[in-house]
A and B are shown apart, each in its own frame.
Chain A
């Protein structure tokens, strides 16, 4: 059954590059500006990019296959490791998808906390993007500043979940445990100072002539191309397509929050930079609303056969102990069916497609990750531009290889 179609990428590029004057250049997978293990095969004419092939798969772990051998609740920690810079967004998408399959209502407090954490994750992710993007361009200072603020977010996560990056804090049916006592105060203290910090980054970059000239007019993507190539999220909104699932197809209670969806029409790296900076300010607004209006109540759904009981109950009540034992050893059966749940992750539209055959393990799990589609647009953005602009464009589209290769 073996068959190979097409030729390996480097050879193909050489063979198809009919022009003798063109050079085929390999960038990555180990290249400091390639955000992990992205490999680009670039055909250049002098310093002008003629063609560009992204070559991916260096981080492929077959996680979709792994999911088929796990119980539904065991998949949650696997999703953390896809887009490792925004673990809560992955958790949220997966939990919402399974809850849709189960037709499970989750309590309001859990929904609000999920929104709060999803927005903190967005700040976390955008801070890394800003720092590394500026570093690629040569502005190292910003990197140190953004990581200072990111550190505070990671400390909040650590207090919450016991883990800084791979939080696995969400559960099917709610959240794993109550947040610690100082959680709300810490988040409040953080968002009190954070808008000033955004001004600080903006002061360093927005007026910086080198940063401006490296980004303005570079990596142009039209609105039509963005839709045709499946580009989503801030990259799409930087091209003037006004669509945000948080506002237009709300999930997890986002319809109760007031926020703007930043939009830019230029479609270049600068537009994407501006959109993300504004998005951070909007996230702060959402977090403030979530803190102010946080409802009281449980953080787990009342579904003893699906949600693990509290530790205390498990030790004192026979029934809770039995449920705990059954969930851990046998999982829980999920009604047969297929669902697709989309959310707005920091990078764009994330969608998890889950097919259940009625047993305790998913028949098929598929992750639609925004970076994968965004990468297709890279050639369109880089064609006809200087080779050095490739670095600026790769930085500006904010890809994470963990979710591309899966």
Chain B
């Protein structure tokens, strides 16, 4: 592993200082500096945390900055920490040949974020999957239905407090 990848930058100030020329960092500062809450550069991967309300705007800003390909969105359940859920969006740039991660923290009480399906239609199935398995709602999603589990299923299986044994 090269030396550059071994460096770890923790926190927004360190990333802004350490990677001032990074196109994603420049784009997010130009877009809305206030909504850019936290950042991390670890193991060669850049993670930008944005405020929960601003994810669609951040996605659009990244798309405009050349990060043209939406690859993945998934959630992590950090029970018992608060805020409980983390959403990780993996976005790839065909021109820069690298990916970044947008990160959003979501509370346990009525978890909801704005859908980014209007920005990238590719997010459609992925957001449905997160809704199905974690119970996080995506506002503005065209068809937010369960995708893996049956339509009448109760509960959200990938949450950490979902029982893994016994009868349902």
Contacts of A373 in B (CB 8 A): 122, 125-126
A273 is an interface residue with CB less than 8 A from chain B: no
Residue of B nearest to A250 (CB): B97
Distance of A116 from chain B, by nearest CB (Å): 23
B151 is an interface residue with CB less than 8 A from chain A: yes
Contact A65 to B158, CB < 8 A, known contacts A101-B43, A249-B97, A376-B125: yes
Q: Do B94 and A353 touch (CB < 8 A)?
A: no
Distance of B81 from chain A, by nearest CB (Å): 10
Distance of A43 from chain B, by nearest CB (Å): 15
With contacts defined as CB atoms under 8 Å apart, how many contacts are there between chain A and chain B in the complex?
116
- Bound-state CA distance A275–B154 (Å) is 44
B42 is an interface residue with CB less than 8 A from chain A: yes
Q: Do B94 and A6 touch (CB < 8 A)?
A: no
Q: Do A103 and B76 touch (CB < 8 A)?
A: no
**Chain A proximity mask over B29-70: 1 for CB below 8 Å, otherwise 0:** 000000000000011110100000000000000000000111
Find residues 349-381 in chain A having any chain B CB closer than 8 Å to their own CB.
349, 351, 353, 355, 363-364, 366, 368, 372-373, 375-376
Residue of A nearest to B144 (CB): A5
Contacts of B72 in A (CB 8 A): 340, 351, 353, 366, 368
Q: Do A228 and B158 touch (CB < 8 A)?
A: no
Contacts of A364 in B (CB 8 A): 74, 76-77
**Chain A proximity mask over B90-121: 1 for CB below 8 Å, otherwise 0:** 10101001110100000000000000000011
Q: Do B71 and A2 touch (CB < 8 A)?
A: no
Find residues 19-46 in chain A having any chain B CB closer than 8 Å to their own CB.
none
Contact A2 to B155, CB < 8 A, known contacts A57-B149, A230-B120: yes
Q: Do A103 and B125 touch (CB < 8 A)?
A: no
A1 is an interface residue with CB less than 8 A from chain B: yes
Find residues 130-167 in chain B having any chain A CB closer than 8 Å to their own CB.
131, 133, 135, 143-152, 154-158, 162, 164
Which of B1, B74, B152 is the one whose CB lies under 8 Å from A4?
A: B152
B26 is an interface residue with CB less than 8 A from chain A: no
Distance of B147 from chain A, by nearest CB (Å): 6
A227 is an interface residue with CB less than 8 A from chain B: yes
Contact A337 to B42, CB < 8 A, known contacts A62-B157, A249-B98, A376-B122: yes
- Bound-state CA distance A57–B6 (Å) is 40
- Bound-state CA distance A5–B6 (Å) is 45
Contacts of B90 in A (CB 8 A): 340, 351, 353, 368
- Bound-state CA distance A29–B6 (Å) is 48
Distance of B72 from chain A, by nearest CB (Å): 4
Q: Do A375 and B71 touch (CB < 8 A)?
A: no
Contacts of B70 in A (CB 8 A): 230
Distance of B129 from chain A, by nearest CB (Å): 8
Q: Do B155 and A56 touch (CB < 8 A)?
A: no
Distance of B74 from chain A, by nearest CB (Å): 4
Distance of B155 from chain A, by nearest CB (Å): 7
- Bound-state CA distance A248–B95 (Å) is 10
Residue of B nearest to A102 (CB): B43
- Bound-state CA distance A249–B95 (Å) is 11
Which of the listed residues A6, A230, A406 has the most CB atoms from chain B within 10 Å of its own CB? A230
Contact A340 to B99, CB < 8 A, known contacts A1-B135, A353-B90, A363-B76: yes
A64 is an interface residue with CB less than 8 A from chain B: yes
Q: Do B43 and A100 touch (CB < 8 A)?
A: yes
Chain B contact residues, CB within 8 Å of chain A: 1, 6, 42-45, 47, 68-72, 74, 76-77, 88, 90, 92, 94, 97-99, 101, 120-126, 131, 133, 135, 143-152, 154-158, 162, 164
Smallest CB-CB A-B distances: 7 pairs: A230-B122, A6-B145, A368-B72, A2-B154, A366-B74, A60-B148, A57-B148
Q: 14 A-B pairs, CB-CB below 8 angstroms?
A: A57-B146, A57-B148, A57-B150, A65-B164, A100-B44, A103-B6, A227-B68, A227-B69, A342-B71, A351-B72, A364-B74, A368-B72, A368-B74, A376-B124
